[in-house]
Chain A
Amino acid sequence: DQQVKQNSPSLSVQEGRISILNCDYTNSMFDYFLWYKKYPAEGPTFLISISSIKDKNEDGRFTVFLNKSAKHLSLHIVPSQPGDSAVYFCAASSKGGSEKLVFGKGTKLTVNP
């Protein structure tokens, strides 16, 4: 069963616009969430994280929003740049879950110049 779901396999946006990547989860024990960016043939690169005690975390052009009641989080990138084109993975962890991360299948973002 897929505990972390990224229902959009791909997303295409224009340079300068906002990119919104979505993630849903089913396990109510998850309390820490991370977003990773991945280029082909490379490892995932950490972008931003959020604890369940918060509903928003911002770092430069990246903002993550968490809606615990809906078990939904989203990553906003604004303004989007062509270099942001990559696969974005949402991951979740639960305290007492030995720190292991549960990943979604990823969303491929393409930012068009």
Chain B
Amino acid sequence: NAGVMQNPRHLVRRRGQEARLRCSPMKGHSHVYWYRQLPEEGLKFMVYLQKENIIDESGMPKERFSAEFPKEGPSILRIQQVVRGDSAAYFCASSPDRELHSGNTIYFGEGSWLTVV
């Protein structure tokens, strides 16, 4: 997971506040993914983005969650009006241009731990 930078590593928010998580992919990677891990669970896919495009957001909750990957700057996962159930580890991952099935690999960042109090 070297190279995929996430910040903040830890974030505490009160219920109703907004949380913004940032992710800078590995150098040369243009595909970004966000995953969420709830306690005692595996990682669950949320969204897949390329520069300025959302490719697949089938794992995103319908409300309060949004993601972007602008032309310049990091990818942002935004959670509005946070609730206690949003407390989780959020992992960003990146991969190069080539398709996963051509031998490509997805590399993960260290994660951002969100705690809603």
Contact = CB atoms under 8 A, between A and B. Distances in A.
Interface of A: 4, 6, 31-32, 34, 36, 41-46, 49, 51, 89, 91, 93, 95, 98-106
A41 B10 CA distance: 10
Interface of B: 1, 4, 6, 31, 33, 35, 40-45, 48, 55-56, 58-59, 91, 95, 99-101, 103, 105-111, 113
A99 B99 contact: yes
A100 B91 contact: no
B42 A42 contact: no
A102 B111 CA distance: 18
B108 A105 contact: no
A100 B111 contact: no
A69 to B, nearest CB: 20
A95 B59 contact: no
B103 to A, nearest CB: 8
A93 to B, nearest CB: 6
Given A43-B4, A99-B99, A36 B108 contact: yes
B111 A42 contact: yes
Given A43-B111, A45-B1, A106 B42 contact: yes
Contacts of A36: 108
Contacts of A43: 1, 4, 6, 91, 108-111
A103 B108 CA distance: 13
Contacts of A99: 31, 33, 48, 95, 99-100, 106
20 contacts: A32-B100, A34-B105, A34-B106, A41-B111, A41-B113, A42-B110, A43-B108, A43-B111, A44-B43, A91-B43, A93-B100, A95-B101, A99-B33, A99-B99, A100-B33, A100-B58, A101-B33, A101-B43, A101-B106, A103-B35
A31 B101 contact: yes
Nearest to A98: B56
Contacts of B113: 41
A70 B101 CA distance: 21
